[in-house]
Amino acid sequence: MFKCGRSNRMKKIESKKVAYLLNFIAICIFFGILMILFKKEVFGSRTSYFQGICTTACYTIIMVASLNLLTGFMGEFSLGHAGFMSVGAFSSAILTNYLAESGIPSFVLFLMCLLVGGIAAGITGIAVGVPALRLRGDYLCIVTVAFAEIIRVAFCNFKITGGGKTMSGITRLSNFYWVFWVMVICVTIMYMYVRSRYGRTVMAIREDYIAASASGINVTYYKVLTFTISAFFAGIAGAIYAHYMTAIIPTNFNFNYSAEFLTEVIIGGTGSLTGSVIGAAFLSALPELMRQFSNYRMLAYSIVLVLVMIFKPSGIFGTYEFSLVRVINRLLGKSTTGSTASKKTVQEVE
């Protein structure tokens, strides 16, 4: 019986390794296709323009996925996520300006900026989450809005952040090729967190707060942990944003910016990282597609959100996660009936 149980666990581990390997190969192929498309022979002078759109999509994906940790998997709404992004953006920009003449290689400096931006936002997340996450629902939402406004007003008055004016002269370190892999790593870590025992505990808290607390789960600890991780990745997205735009102003990180991220989460699907990735990629490219109607961008978001809420209240993807292994099994004609029958046989033997 013990040998049989051990062999089953080994099969599961091997299947996970195969799934991770297939996903990594698929990502490498997708990246290779983008590299071919971004050659000057394909788009010509518009190559940098399309690279810029993809770079914007990458840091938007990180932001939306990090917000989905709170909204979809923890079940709490936050309308102040742009505040964490601004903390990561300004802290990393200050570091870059300080080390501009140090002679550090660009890639090493880029990684340092990401870590500093993420850590600064994570510490801020702890400071906000410890008192705020004892609240729930609308009260927590109001507190996060207040936090974002406090951060914005503070950055508007600090001399080191430009004193309300544009903080310019930031070295451009974010290019598509680096940002793409940073996005892949961030989404992978968030996916692994959701699938871990910590993520399952957070989802149990989302489903029944009282039952989870009565079962001995330290609800406040897990909520603060998830809030901090979400803030950390928002800070990384802010660092990428600052070193791509090379000029930032505190007033850009306002309530509308947070609401835009929340809209993308809801449209993609709360509780689905796949929905966050696809929804963020599409909606970040939408302003460029509607450049002639840029004044009506938020109107377009509103219309899409209303249609989704009418016809698909759980979002386009709901809680569905794309699985490459599942697709391959279907293409090969493998059914789950046989595997289920074999599992029952194994259980009977045990």
* Two tokens, residue 200: 């399952």
Q: 3-state class of 133 per DSSP?
A: coil
167 DSSP 8-state letter: B
Name the residue among 189, 199, 202 with its Cα closest to residue 232.
189
Q: Could you read off the pLDDT tens digit of each residue along the chain, which spans 350 residues?
A: 444 555 554 444 457 778 888 888 999 999 998 888 887 666 667 778 888 888 999 999 999 999 999 888 888 888 888 999 999 999 999 999 888 777 888 899 999 999 999 999 999 999 988 888 877 777 888 888 898 889 988 888 888 887 778 888 888 888 899 999 999 999 999 999 998 999 999 999 888 888 888 888 888 899 999 999 999 999 999 999 999 998 898 888 888 888 888 888 888 888 889 888 988 888 777 776 666 666 676 777 778 778 888 888 888 888 888 878 788 878 877 544 444 444 443 344 34
CB atoms closer than 10 angstroms to residue 334? 12
Side chain identity at residue 328, one-letter code: I
For the whole model, what pTM was predicted? 0.86
Place of tokens 């598509």: 176
180: nearest Cα among 14, 7, 27, 5: 27
Give the C-alpha separation, 269 to 265, whole Å. Answer: 6
Amino acid, res. 193: Y
| Rounded distance between C-alpha atoms, residue 311 and residue 161, angstroms | 44
